Structure 1
Amino acid sequence: MKTPISNEEFYAGLQELPQPKYPFPDFIHPDFQKQREEYYEMIDKDYFFHSEMARQKHKQHNLVDIASRGCPFLKTLAELRPLACYAANGAMMDDYLDLCTPDEMDKINNRIIAILTGEEPNEPTENGIFYQFWTLRQYTITREMPDRLYQKFLQAIFGILTGYSHERAYYRANAIPPLSIYLIIRNNTSGALPFCKYVAMQKDYRLLPDEILEDPYILRLHTLCSLMIGIHNDIISLPKELHREGDTMNLVKVLQQENKITLKEAYMDALELHDSYLNEFLLLHENLPQFGKWQDMTYNYVQDLGIMVAGVFAWHTNDTSRYVNGGYVEGEYKPT
């Protein structure tokens, strides 16, 4: 581990650099405070295997706000719960398992998949990660989520789990991946693809047929959302990741290594790549294929995808505890 540094050194040279901007309004679900209270209770009840320091830090991070800001138009707290459970448990799991091996990650992933598909139908006897994924399934199947949407949601979560396994190899080797590999992995590990699928649970979008939700335009828009969120997360978390060994899955680090440029140049190139994805998103939004009677609804659905991206970024910029010096949660996983 590197020598501890002061807050001033931690942020030196980064505070004045520009950050992403989105042309979408900012919203938050009206039940966000109730969801927070459930989150605090869940941490105290189910995450006793984390250290007290880790639990307190997670509470300060308000990870369920990612769901409240990303899908603010869900009609009820009951509809918000599955996404909030995924967002909070997924982030805490990623922190906790920071140092596990790819093989260990694969074993964990396989059990999560069995729980989410119902192959392992019984309530897990141990609290924590597996119990929370079992709870996510119960929340979802009892909330009248159409099975076809649930399957899309699951497949996106499975993609994240695969991405976690792939990135662990780079973390443990303290190796920065090539750009092409980074983009493949980050498309999954940004965590945004399940959000893209869950946006269809808002308003009347669940009526949109599969031929629209699986259209190449829409799938490309999902990818753009995922990459924008991955990049803006990298930009926000860069001060933290510059000073921790193993935090190699960051676009700024990737570009600095790949192009042999300064940190500031790599930062600006990362922002430029982000903005190119945003411009492509806006172009596709205004030039959707002809979807007949679904045209207006599809246009509005894509608009709410943009609001989702902006909402996740708003969580990052409103949070003042996760990406500050000492605010992040160190990996505590120990193999059994």
Structure 2
Amino acid sequence: MKTTISNDEFYAGLQQLPKPQYPFPDFIHPDFQQQRQEYYDWIDKEYIFHSKESREKHKKHNLVDIASRGCPFLKNIEELRPLASYAANGAMMDDYWDRCSSKEMDEICNRTMALLNGDDSNEPTDNGISHQFWILRQDCLQCEMPERLYKKFIKTIHDVLIGYSYERVYYRTNTIPPLAVFLIIREATSGAHPFCQYVAMQKEYRQFPDEILEHPHIKRLHTLCALMIGIHNDIISLPKELHREEDTMNLVKVLQQEHKISTKDAYMMALELHDNYLKEFLILQQYLPPFDKWQDMVYNYVQDLGIMVAGVYAWHTNDTTRYVNGGYVDGEYISQD
């Protein structure tokens, strides 16, 4: 994408189109400023393999605010830190390895999971993305995250990384997938499933037995969260992705190809799909299955899932630097495949 393009060309009339809206209140974690400072510090320390321009752009994006807004009820910064690390490091690794191959992404996935599950307990000697994932595990241990929740958390991170690998098949061939394939990939790459698991770290939700967190009704709510976040991200990032030919993994582009319609019609169709997922979420919240003594707490947990979705979107709407004209960080990794 050319950075010299005018704003009128960049937005191409999209700014006046309706945007997603959520019926959930807006919160932010009280330690968000401290978390930001830690983020700035580890970008300077860990991300020296990035160009200075990319590092400065990442600082402006305040990616840790995704966690601060998505899980604002965590007790302290010790509990916030692992989710903030996942959110920021995950987004920046996706940026950095934007042009890597599916095979290379598989290798990155294997390395990352060995660090997260403890198969490789040695601290990486080089600073960077792998070191940050090693630190993430230490932070989860430090804040006494229950082991069963941690296993669910890193299982969903694994699924995100698989999604990153899968989508690169389409990036590298510059092709747009069918809608059915796209939705599978986007559910993973939205990055929301780890957030859904981490919501259970708030309040008293960690007391839930596994049969609640693994209930089909709850798992469908997690899927709806992931799809809504994926779609609202595609809507926010659309102007950038319309001007980068290789950015094929956007719902609007998929719908445009699938139905042979204009960009604006595809945009409105994407928003309609998002809104239908939101309606389904609210229905499922209203008609929860019987959970006996946990009933009220499950309802509140689902409400906090909604707050999480709205919080991630609030980061998008409050950020004015990541998806704007010339604000996105281009992938700097040079693929060897």
What is the TM-score of this pair, normalised by structure 1? 0.99
**Matching residue of 1:280:** 280
What is the letter of the counterpart of residue 219 of structure 1? Answer: K
Report SS of the residue matched to 1:220: helix
What is the letter of the counterpart of residue 284 of structure 1? Answer: L
Which 4+ runs in 1 deviate beyond 4 A?
Answer: 1-4
CA–CA distance in structure 2, aligned partners of residues 45 and 145 of structure 1: 26
**Matching residue of 1:28:** 28
**Matching residue of 2:153:** 153
- How far the C-alpha of 1:334 sits from its partner, in A, is 2.3
**Matching residue of 1:69:** 69
- How high is the sequence identity, in percent, across the aligned residues? 73
CA–CA distance in structure 2, aligned partners of residues 130 and 225 of structure 1: 27
What is the letter of the counterpart of residue 186 of structure 1? Answer: R
1:129-140 matches, within 5 Å, as 129-140=129-140
- How far the C-alpha of 1:273 sits from its partner, in A, is 0.1
* Preserved CA contact (<8 Å) 1:252 1:263: yes
1:173-322 matches, within 5 Å, as 173-322=173-322
* Preserved CA contact (<8 Å) 1:2 1:245: no
CA–CA distance in structure 2, aligned partners of residues 226 and 3 of structure 1: 31
- How far the C-alpha of 1:174 sits from its partner, in A, is 1.1
CA–CA distance in structure 2, aligned partners of residues 269 and 335 of structure 1: 35
- How far the C-alpha of 1:246 sits from its partner, in A, is 1.2
**Matching residue of 1:105:** 105
CA–CA distance in structure 1, aligned partners of residues 236 and 174 of structure 2: 20
CA–CA distance in structure 1, aligned partners of residues 17 and 334 of structure 2: 38
CA–CA distance in structure 1, aligned partners of residues 52 and 145 of structure 2: 36
Matched length: 336
CA–CA distance in structure 2, aligned partners of residues 3 and 28 of structure 1: 32
What is the letter of the counterpart of residue 167 of structure 1? Answer: E
* Preserved CA contact (<8 Å) 2:99 2:335: no
- How far the C-alpha of 1:140 sits from its partner, in A, is 0.3
CA–CA distance in structure 1, aligned partners of residues 274 and 185 of structure 2: 16
CA–CA distance in structure 2, aligned partners of residues 137 and 60 of structure 1: 26
CA–CA distance in structure 2, aligned partners of residues 3 and 161 of structure 1: 29
- How far the C-alpha of 1:5 sits from its partner, in A, is 1.9
**Matching residue of 2:334:** 334
CA–CA distance in structure 2, aligned partners of residues 42 and 274 of structure 1: 35
Residue ranges of structure 2 left out of the alignment (5+ in a row): none
- How far the C-alpha of 1:35 sits from its partner, in A, is 0.1
Residue ranges of structure 1 left out of the alignment (5+ in a row): none
* Preserved CA contact (<8 Å) 1:225 1:305: yes
Provide Cα deviations, 1:48-87, integer angstroms capped at 9, x if missing partner.
Answer: 0000000000000000000000000000000000000000
Report SS of the residue matched to 2:15: coil
* Preserved CA contact (<8 Å) 1:255 1:270: yes
